[in-house]
Structure 1
Amino acid sequence: MQQISAEVKALEAEQKKLLKAQNDDTSDKPSRKLPGQFAAIADAFDKDFTISRVPDSADLSDWWKFVEQHPAASAYHSRAVWEFICAQPHVSAEMLIAKDNSGRVIGGMPLIFMTTPLLGSFAVSMPFFNYGGPVTRFKNVFEALLAIAKQEGEQGQLKYVEVRTLQQTDYPASTKKVSMLRALPDTAEAFEDEIGAKVRAQVKKADPYRPRFRIGGRELLDDFYTVFARNMRDLGTPVNSRAFFELLMDKLPEHTYIAMAYVDNQPVATGFLLRHRNMMEIPWASTVREANKMNMNMWLYDNMLKFAISKGMHWFDFGRSTQDAGTYRFKKQWGAEPYQHYWYQFSQDPAGESLNPDNPKFKLAIGVWQRLPVWVTRKIGPFVSSQLP
């Protein structure tokens, strides 16, 4: 009898799944093509090509034309972000550029070298951001770029070379991180229907506190940084300098926004938004602890997602998360789906570890940092964070 009951339940579950798929097929949801940077590389380049290592002082005009038109290029492959990266302390940079026999660019990869007083010397493609690794539509070109990074890491003077990408190869890679993406409908009304009653109810829990939403540019930077610096201290993470965000906004004035939530005219939650093509990304977000009981984070994200829709965006990128962590589950409830990251690390030490805040060796330092006054972390945090890729 139990076996029959189990079989009936299985059939019911399968029927529900088929009905849902049928409804999805016949729904009025607009078609959304995944941004090119998330598409898997399948083609092979069937002719000879060469890869040159070009210093940051050289003429890179051919490369800028290439990434401007390439569907897999992210905002972080732009000339503006390259100039931003090269202006950071402890940094030198070069571009690996692949060309065919006619001199046409067919791929490439920025490689950022960091020589730091605290952590030594290493290279990353790319530090500080979620994207920015190799760009090409040819798998063998991609692997040739990785091979140069491998040689640099295993035979050079660096602690390691790390290439962060969304592409899988035969090289072993860390798969702890995913990007969380959500396709957006055409209207805020359709979005309200999609997120469902449970999420809408959580958003409405903020209403009794009468929050106020603002979105703008550099004029909101002080409020952003007040919330961000405090939250980073609470998390035990050294905060980026205010100048870090100011310069990024200066370099990308038409593509960056700051979203703020206020309660009683005090900033309590914030998000830094970056628009590229038809996708809005939130690389940094913070909420002060006192606002958590107000569900202010949910309220802010609801407003930011609707802002992205109003700008005609097809996708909202909730940023990078560790699989099944708290931030992963938060993003999942909004309908976001995971897209795998592959971080390739090459080192002379087979047990070498990347120098990022997720490293368990930072646990003691995190505990100490959480006990420091915010004003202290704002003073010394930028010195430390500028050395963390």
Structure 2
Amino acid sequence: MKQDLTIRALTRKAHNLWDRYVDSHQHGSFFHLTGWIHVIQDVFGHQPHYLFAQQGEQIVGVLPLFEQKSLLFGHALISTPFCVYGGALADQDDIRRELENAAYDLACDLNVDYIELRDSHEHPCESPWFRHCHHATFKNTLALPAEDLLSGIKRKQRAVIRHAQKNNLSWDAKDNPALCFELYAESVRNLGTPVFPPALFQTLKDTFGSSCETLVVRDVQGQPVSGVLSFYYKNQVLPYYGGGTQAARDLKSNDFMYYQLMLIAKERGAELFDFGRSKINSGAYHYKKHWGMEEQPLHYRMALVRAKRPPNLSPNNPKYRYFIRAWQNLPMGLSKQIGPMLSKYLG
């Protein structure tokens, strides 16, 4: 370790310094920002353990961490739950390693089952870390005019979008987190997944302001059929929580929505469309591949502390099969009551 390097726990007065560091770091992502402390602690009740490296008066590295503790799903330290990217950012590799060593020591002190780093870019695997990623993300450069943007999409998906454009769909990008959440909640219930607390979408909007926007698509009768909550950061747009009603499939309104979001984002100055992570070979994974975007594996790492083997919280795990089928048949109201008690540990 460099002689004057210290690893410290983040305090409230250093939030602005942390965020400025993330803004300036080439790998700094939206999910490294301190706003997530408020979102995850207030909505899900998980304890933050943010660490930063300091030399003199300067921050030279950051590592956001949250502790999740559940009798059903285990005890973990994660960077960062409910987020695609996380892990350490640092000026140099030796500083990053010191942050990761401090995080592992913290995991041991907390006696967790494991610690997971959702690195935003690839790092070498050194003991006690090992690769633990079964997800990919998809990215696409945004082009104008609109026809150039459309021509960058695979031919079959272009046909789907053109079909959707004939369905008299309308859209608006007014701030409407509550409506967007309702559409998302119905969608995830239909997939057999517990929904997040309703407060999540409004809290994200309140926390991140103009960097968080919703887009809602309506059918010819004016009924909402699809919605997505997106983040804007640096030169990117990240559609993060999207879904639709049963009618969305026939109307192709989700396809219409994501294409419209590309147009809106480009007008806002975004240059990159980050479609988010999906489990490899899942339905969402294949849907995104149809758009012809660049697939990038996610370089997550893990270290075991108390656990003897890595956890398997995937919906493809056979032990969750009957639970998923039962959940798909729950009334919407009941799924929204029970879901938040489970989903808080599935980030």
User: TM-score over 0.5 for the alignment?
Assistant: yes
Cα 1:59–1:276 shift into 2, 3 Å:
closer
Give deviations 1:159-215, integer Å, cap 9, x for gaps.
221111132322321231111100111332321333365333211222443111121
C-alpha distance in 2 between matches for 1:145 and 1:164? 14
Extract unaligned runs of 5+ from structure 2: none
Cα 1:284–1:61 shift into 2, 3 Å:
closer
Query: Is 2:26 the counterpart of 1:71?
Result: yes
Provide the residue aligned with 1:325 in structure 2.
282
Cα 1:152–1:94 shift into 2, 3 Å:
closer
Q: CA RMSD in A?
A: 2.4
Contact 1:280 1:316 in 2 (8 A): yes
Cα 1:74–1:53 shift into 2, 3 Å:
same
The SS at the match of 2:148 is helix
Contact 1:260 1:271 in 2 (8 A): yes
Q: 2:330 aligns with which of 366, 372, 375?
A: 372
Which protein has the larger Cα radius of gyration, Structure 1 or Structure 2? 1
Offset of 1:58 from its aligned partner?
6.3
Contact 2:61 2:89 in 1 (8 A): yes
Offset of 1:97 from its aligned partner?
1.1
Q: 1:194 aligns with which of 152, 165, 169?
A: 152
C-alpha distance in 2 between matches for 1:169 and 1:361? 33
C-alpha distance in 1 between matches for 2:296 and 2:4? 30
Query: Is 2:80 the counterpart of 1:123?
Result: no
Cα 1:247–1:194 shift into 2, 3 Å:
same
Offset of 1:268 from its aligned partner?
1.2
Q: 1:96 aligns with which of 51, 59, 62?
A: 51
TM-score, normalised via structure 2 length: 0.89
C-alpha distance in 1 between matches for 2:32 and 2:48? 13
Give the letter for the 1:179 counterpart.
Answer: T
Deviates more, 1:240-249 or 1:359-368: 359-368
The SS at the match of 2:302 is strand
C-alpha distance in 2 between matches for 1:313 and 1:57? 31
C-alpha distance in 2 between matches for 1:189 and 1:208? 16
Provide the residue aligned with 2:247 in structure 1.
290
C-alpha distance in 1 between matches for 2:334 and 2:11? 35
Offset of 1:292 from its aligned partner?
1.0
The SS at the match of 1:270 is strand
Q: 1:147 aligns with which of 94, 101, 106?
A: 101
C-alpha distance in 2 between matches for 1:343 and 1:98? 21
Provide the residue aligned with 1:281 in structure 2.
238
Provide the residue aligned with 1:229 in structure 2.
185
Offset of 1:366 from its aligned partner?
1.6
Cα 1:326–1:119 shift into 2, 3 Å:
closer
Identity %: 24
Offset of 1:155 from its aligned partner?
6.2
The SS at the match of 1:186 is coil
Extract unaligned runs of 5+ from structure 1: 1-45
Deviates more, 1:90-99 or 1:326-335: 326-335
C-alpha distance in 2 between matches for 1:250 and 1:276? 16
C-alpha distance in 2 between matches for 1:279 and 1:247? 21
C-alpha distance in 1 between matches for 2:70 and 2:112? 11
Residues 103-182 of structure 1: pairs in structure 2 closer than 5 A: 103-116=57-70, 118-153=72-107, 156-165=110-119, 166-170=121-125, 171-182=129-140
Deviates more, 1:331-340 or 1:232-241: 331-340
Offset of 1:227 from its aligned partner?
1.4
Residues 238-277 of structure 1: pairs in structure 2 closer than 5 A: 238-263=194-219, 264-277=221-234
Cα 1:378–1:67 shift into 2, 3 Å:
same
Give the letter for the 2:271 counterpart.
Answer: H
The SS at the match of 2:131 is coil
